[in-house]
Each structure stands twice: as structure tokens, then as C-alpha cells.
Amino acid sequence: MQVSRRNFLKWSGISGTLAATTSFSKTVLPEKQEEFVGFCPVNCGSKCLLKAHTKDGIISHITTDNTGNDSYEQRQVRACLRGRSTRYRIYNPNRVLYPLKRVGKRGEGKFKRVSWDEALTDIANKMNEIKLKYGNEAFYNPYGTGTIGSIMAGWLDGSFHRLLGVYGGYLGYHNDYSTGQIANGLEHFYGWAWGGDIENVKHAKLAVMFGSNPVETRMGGASTGYSFQEMARRGNTKVICIDPRYSDTMVGVADEWIPIAPGTDAALIAALAYVMVKEDLYNKEFMDKYCVGFTRDTLPEGAPSNGSYMDYIMGTGDDKTPKTPEWASKITQISSDRIVKLAREIASAEPCYIDQGWGPQRHQNGEQQSRAIATLACLTGNVGILGGGTGARSGSSKSYSLGSLSVNNPVKTTIPCFMWYEGIRLGSKMSALEHGVRGASHLKVPIKVMINTAGNCLTNQHACVSEISKILEDESLYELIVDINITRTHSNSFADYILPSAMVFEQEDLLQASMGKCSTMPYLAIGEKAIEPQGEAKSAFDICTLLAEKLGGKELKDKFTDGKTWEDWMRWSWNVAKDKNPFLPSYDEIKRRKIWKSPELVEPLVVFKDFREDPNANPLNTPSGKIEIFSSTLYDMSKTWKLMPGQKINPLPVFEDVIMGARDPLRKKYPLQFFGYHYKGRTHSSFWDAGVIREINPQEILINTLDAKQRGIKTGDTVIVRNDIGKIKGVARVTSRIIPGTAATYQGGWAKFDENGVDVGCCVNTLTTNQPTAIAKANGVHSILVEIEKA
């Protein structure tokens, strides 16, 4: 049964956003409802179970997992309010119900309804024309995470990757918007690493969290937020959080908050190392045996004689500046006495769990930030032991990988995912040594086609929204953007065609919880189809099947489907995991059971345990096989890479002053450090389209009490946040839960510009720079300087 928006709103008693807010308690639910199991696929990292309750083809309400006895050992994969609001996204007044074709200029947001046949015929004709003229490297599928964790509809190795692969290939990307800097930083440090399972906290005497906020960002019932709280309680572990903001993790778990100026963690680490060396508190045996470059006698061949980390912190390196607590205090805003005390606390706690979130690495010096925090874990000998950690972010202990739809991509060239706009603008001038191209010295051709699936990263979640918008508006630069989504977004205002995607409960799918951080209880689930897709929305698989036939007739269609139906692919995908793990239920059984949870908790993952026990037999994936405090790879890159003004590549994890950082002279004009952060009201930009969630989590601009008083700002005032890049307007919340000299807003607000060019949607990326970081060429969007004033 197909239900119109009007009939649904009338039936459910919802007559606007405010009524929707209260309808949880006021809606009278019909009797004899059917129940269907699904899941929340958005990219918060939890991947929780949802249950849709339907009557006559309409979802009346959504509940969550109630299996197990709700002990920690048999915990429920319980969804938060965001996931439970999925009904409001399915029946959203802004839902894309039909194929749309652009009729105005790019960026005007003017579209007309067209048939599927017309849209796919036009798209296929244009793709074939561009392929003939430029080749397959002209095709690009940007990063997007609106369906991460789902197999059939997912952005990662999903239907569109398969279609482009059988079509001849496409320009790929490396890195992602979440972890670009830490992935590259730790690749040159450990060869890459997770931080081990967060259940290590139970076995630690002290847990030190750098910008890590699992309680707020990993809220699901089986996710690390719950695990962190439970393990800290069971282990009676002292928890210290180092962060510019007093987060919900601190409210519920932490024993102490140490406020720090944004982007200065590496300076703090240097001072902690200085104290540990001065007072002989560091683990000399570990550093000598497992690490390269901490002291002069462990430097690799060809390194400068005074190029060790010890030289850097003690002032015998090139800058001749001892990294004393007093030096760091001026940068970090942490008192020198507290730095000394913290160094002693960390060094004496055995073991000490050291964890970093992904906020510290989203600065222009993010690669060094991530490497510095990992260095602290090494200094104290906490790598490779139960209760310790690598200093990276916590990860899952165990996962079971389902089969993906993707095929081998014939095009081997990739670009940093953040720098796709240079692929459009520069084309063949985009190079390896200047822009981080991999697999080739430079691009062959510009990007001419973008197929944007389940993402809002073309503008809203990118950086410098205004500059990116100008690139996208320029019809001379590229020839086709196709956006596949569930709703209108700021990004798809620039599309040539918008295709309506089916949502969870409108299609069958499989959930792979390894895309979330599910701690020691891995699980898999099936998503059932509860209702027919709204309007003319189609699944990703069906869209790609139809488009494949338009592109290359039956031959290409058969290559794409491989003769399998949607159901066949789901069975195949499940059996990939079962073949490797025979104890998993059969596909027919999981369809009956809906969810499979590991019957027993697996042991908490201890990263590099084997390396710690025998480094010769279990070398790391680094040039030396050891932990590289001094990276010879980065040292070589520093001699050859072309960098932007003010940037440099240092082989050591040093503190670096950067554009719009804590010590940028621009602070005289824009004195407040500003940043966006992930919070419980939204997952990136997902759920902005759910009015019920947006209303109980309104977009606000946080400003410290002292800074607000200087500017005559009170809670509830409308304020302008501005810099040379842009302006946003929003409502102030004056609070002592953010360090003086800083301000923040919630990441993911949807940009909306008024007639004066002011973003009244309060998107933080209206204020961020497109300058990529030095090493990863990633998004340093937490480095922002602003001034705030009453509107």
C-alpha cells in the first residue's frame, strides 16, 4: 500500500514539526501491527537494531533490540533517539520521491520531475560520451557515509562501485574525512594501528583520553560508549579527559577534565616527555628495544645527528628550545604544575590506557598530533599489553566480514578524498608530490562525472562551502553530477540529476557491525522490507541494474548482476562470512532469527601483543619493522614534496604552528579558536532532516562565559560568527563547559545562505579553509579563527 505524506500525517496525528516532537506519547497506535527488523545504517559507528511496527503498510512507530537479558555480557544493540526517529526521515516532507532534473543554473536548486527512463537515458548517454572522450579516469564516486554498514545499499564496496568497476573503472580515493591525518600519521609510526578494544580500560589503573568522547559519539547499546562506562566502573579506573570542551563522557565517567587549547596536544606531549626524561620516569627499555629515533643512538641511517625526539624535547635539536612545562603552558593553557603532575601520574600508572579521538587529528597539524599521542603510549611502555594501548582510537575486537558487491577497479590511480575539487579544477596538473596522487605521477584527465551516493560531502561536509560552491557552479569545469539520496541536501543543489533512493525498511539488506565499534560482542543482522518505497524511490541495486542496461545493454547488465537477483546477492554475501566462520547460522536461519550475536564475549583486542613479545618474529609494517618515532619515510618526503606556504613535513612528532592555529598572528584580528564537533543530536549531517531530533537538539554556538561577557552576549542571543572565509548566524549558548578563548558549534548543520551571504543554517564549514594538511592532504577543519558578535 502506497501512502501519501498527507495521509500519513493525518493518520499519525502529526501536523508539523512541533507536533511530531510530542507524537511519541500522543499518537494512538493501531492494533494488530506487524513487526519488521532493520537497522540504523548512518555513520555514528554503532549500527543499532531497529524494529518497525506497521499497520496497512504504514510505519506507526519504531522500537529497538530487546533480545538478551540486558546484562553487559548479553547486552542489547539498543538504538538511541536518533535511530528511533527513522520514521520521520522515511515520511519526511523534504523526501526525494521522484527522479529530478536540473532546470536552472547549477546551485540554484531548481529541478523538475522526470521519469526514470528519461533520467537514466540522459545519464547513460552523457557517461558514454565522456568515457569516449576522456576515458574512465574522468569518473569519480565521492566519499559519503549515509548508509555505512549496510551491504547492498552501502557506500563502501556497494552497488555503484560495482557498476563503475564493470563499466571500465573510475578514479578512486584514499583516506577519508574522518581519519585522514591519523591514518597517515600512524602509517609512518606503527604501519597503522587501532588502539585496541576499549575494554582494556577495565585492566588499567589510569585512562587518559585525548579528545575522545565515546559516550556521546558511540551511543549504541553494543558500542564503545557503553563499554567504556562499564569498564571504567568495573576496573575502578581513574579517567582523565583532555579536551577543549567538557563533553558528556566527562559528565558520566571522567574523574578530571584538563582543558586544552585546540590543536596543541603535541606541545603537551613534548612537555610530558621532557618531565619524564628529566625525572627518569620513561620506559627506557621499551624505547631502546622497540622504537627508532627516540635517542640519537637509535636514529636510522641518514638522519641528522641531532634529529632524535630526545634532541627535540631537550632543546638540543635545530630549534634550540627545551620543551619545558612552562613552554607548553603558554601554548596549551594548561598550568605548568598540572603538566608536571600529569607526567608523573601517567608514568607511575601501570598499566595506563591512552586513547585519542579523531578530533585532535582534524587540525592542520593533525598528522603530528596523532603521532605525538602515540609517542606518549610508547614512552610509558603501554603498547602491546592488556590495559595499555597504542595511543590510537579504540576499535573492535572481532568482526565478521560479509561479501561486498564491488569488483576489481581497473583504474589504479587514487587521490586524497578531501581533494576531489582539485581533480576537477586542475585535472592533469594534479600531481603526486604536490597533491598526494597515488598510483601515478599525476592525473591523466580532469574529473568530469561525479556520482554522489548517500553523502553530503560535495559542500556541507567538505570545507569552505562558498569556494566549493563556486567550483561546482562552473559548468565549464565538469559535465555531470548525479546525486542519489533520500532527501534534498545542500550538496545535491548542485546536481544535474537527483535520483530517489530507498531507505532502510523499504528494502532488504544486511548489516555488518564491524563498520561500527562493537567492542567484544560482534554481531550481524538482516534488514527486512517493511513497507514499499515512498514515491518512486528504488534500491541502489535496482538503480544500477537499470543504468547498466542503459550504458551497455544486456551485456553490461549481466556483468553487473552476474546473473544474481538481490536475494541471491544477499545469500552470497552472507555465505562469504559463513565459509570463513562455520559456526555462524545459515542464511535461511539468519532470515528467521534476524540478528546473530556472538554467544560469548571475545577477548579484548590487545594491539601489537605479538610484536611486544617478539619484535623480530613479528615486525611492524614500517621500513625498520619497529615503531618509528623518527620516520625515515617522512624525512625523505620532506625533501621532495611541494608544500603550501607555512607547511613542512617533520620526521618527528613535533608541535607545529599552523594556519588558523593557536599561535597564528591572525588571532589579533580573530581572537577565538572555533571548531565543530560530533554530538548526540546528529550523525555528521544525518538527522538534520528529522525535525523531531533537530527540535530537541537545536543548533547552537557555544561560547565561554568570560568571552561572552566581554562581547555583551547572553544565552539566547542571535550572534554572527565571522572570519575572512565566511559568516554564520546562530543562537548563543554561554557556558563554562568550553575553554576560554574558544567557541564551537555542532558539526553537520545544513548550510543555508541569506540574501547577504550569511549562513543562517550555521554550518561550521562555511568558516573552514580548503587548505589540505601537509602529509595526508586531508581536511584540517578544526583549525579555525573567528570573532563573534551580536547579530
CB 389 within 8 A of CB 353: yes
3, pLDDT greater than 60: no
Q: What is the pLDDT of residue 404?
A: 87
Please, what is the average pLDDT of the chain?
92
Q: Rounded mean pLDDT of 579-597?
A: 94
Cell of 393: 582510537
Q: How many CA atoms lie within 13 A of 34 on its CB side?
A: 13
62, pLDDT greater than 80: yes
pLDDT tens for residues 168-196? 999 999 999 999 999 999 999 999 888 88
Q: What is the DSSP secondary structure assignment for residue 29, as one 8-state letter?
A: P
CB 360 within 8 A of CB 186: no
Grade residue 780 by pLDDT with cuts at 50, 70 and 90. Answer: very high
Which one has a higher pLDDT value, 220 or 368?
Answer: 368
- Burial call 491-504: b when 16+ CB within 10 Å, e when fewer: bbbbbbbbbbbbbb
Grade residue 372 by pLDDT with cuts at 50, 70 and 90. Answer: very high
Which one has a higher pLDDT value, 721 or 40?
Answer: 721
User: What burial class does residue 266 get, using C-beta atoms within 10 Å of its C-beta: 0-12 exposed, 13-18 middle, 19+ buried?
Assistant: buried
Q: What is the pLDDT of residue 9?
A: 35
Asked if the peptide bond before residue 533 counts as cis, ω within 30 degrees of 0, the response is no
Q: Rounded mean pLDDT of 230-255?
A: 93
Grade residue 128 by pLDDT with cuts at 50, 70 and 90. Answer: very high
pLDDT tens for residues 373-423? 999 999 999 999 999 999 999 888 888 888 888 889 999 999 999 999 999
Q: What is the pLDDT of residue 737?
A: 96
Which one has a higher pLDDT value, 434 or 6?
Answer: 434
Q: What is the pLDDT of residue 520?
A: 83
Q: Rounded mean pLDDT of 216-230?
A: 84
263, pLDDT greater than 80: yes
Grade residue 147 by pLDDT with cuts at 50, 70 and 90. Answer: confident
Residue type, 503: M
Q: What is the pLDDT of residue 564?
A: 96
Q: In Å, what is the CA distance from 698 to each residue of 224, 246, 303?
A: 26, 19, 52
pTM, 2 dp: 0.94
Q: Give SS3 for 344.
A: helix
Grade residue 753 by pLDDT with cuts at 50, 70 and 90. Answer: very high
Please report the domains of the chain, with CATH numbers, ordered by start residue. 1-91+503-536+581-598 (3.30.200), 119-171+411-502+537-563 (3.40.50.740), 181-397+606-640 (3.40.228.10), 665-790 (2.40.40.20)
Cell of 306: 641531532
Q: In Å, what is the CA distance from 473 to each residue of 426, 470, 716, 749?
A: 16, 5, 36, 21
State the Cα–Cα distance between residues 46 and 82, nearest whole angstrom: 12
Q: Give SS3 for 262.
A: coil
Q: Give SS3 for 240.
A: strand
Q: What is the pLDDT of residue 45?
A: 74
13, pLDDT greater than 60: no
Q: What is the DSSP secondary structure assignment for residue 655, as one 8-state letter?
A: -
Q: What is the pLDDT of residue 21?
A: 30
Which parts of 243-337 are beta strand (E)?
256-258, 291-292
Grade residue 155 by pLDDT with cuts at 50, 70 and 90. Answer: low
Q: In Å, what is the CA distance from 372 to each residue of 228, 316, 629?
A: 23, 19, 9
CA 200 and chain centroid, separation: 23
Residue type, 389: G
Residue type, 169: G
State the Cα–Cα distance between residues 596 and 399, nearest whole angstrom: 12
Residue 286, H or E segment: helix 284-290
In the sheet where 206-210 sits, what is the strand order?
A: 256-258, 238-242, 206-210, 352-356
Q: What is the pLDDT of residue 600?
A: 81
5, pLDDT greater than 60: no
- The phi, psi pair for 239, rounded to 5°, reads -120, 125
Place of cell 564491488: 406
Q: How many other C-beta atoms can be found within 10 angstroms of the C-beta atom of residue 740?
A: 16
Phi-psi region of 733 (alpha: psi -120 to 50; beta: other; left: phi over 0): beta
pLDDT tens for residues 597-639? 888 888 888 999 999 999 999 999 999 999 999 999 999 999 9
Lowest mean pLDDT among 93-97, 145-149, 442-446, 584-588: 145-149
- Burial call 345-384: b when 16+ CB within 10 Å, e when fewer: bbbebebbbbbbbbbbbbbbbbbbbbbbbbbbbbbbbbbb
State the Cα–Cα distance between residues 169 and 6, nearest whole angstrom: 43
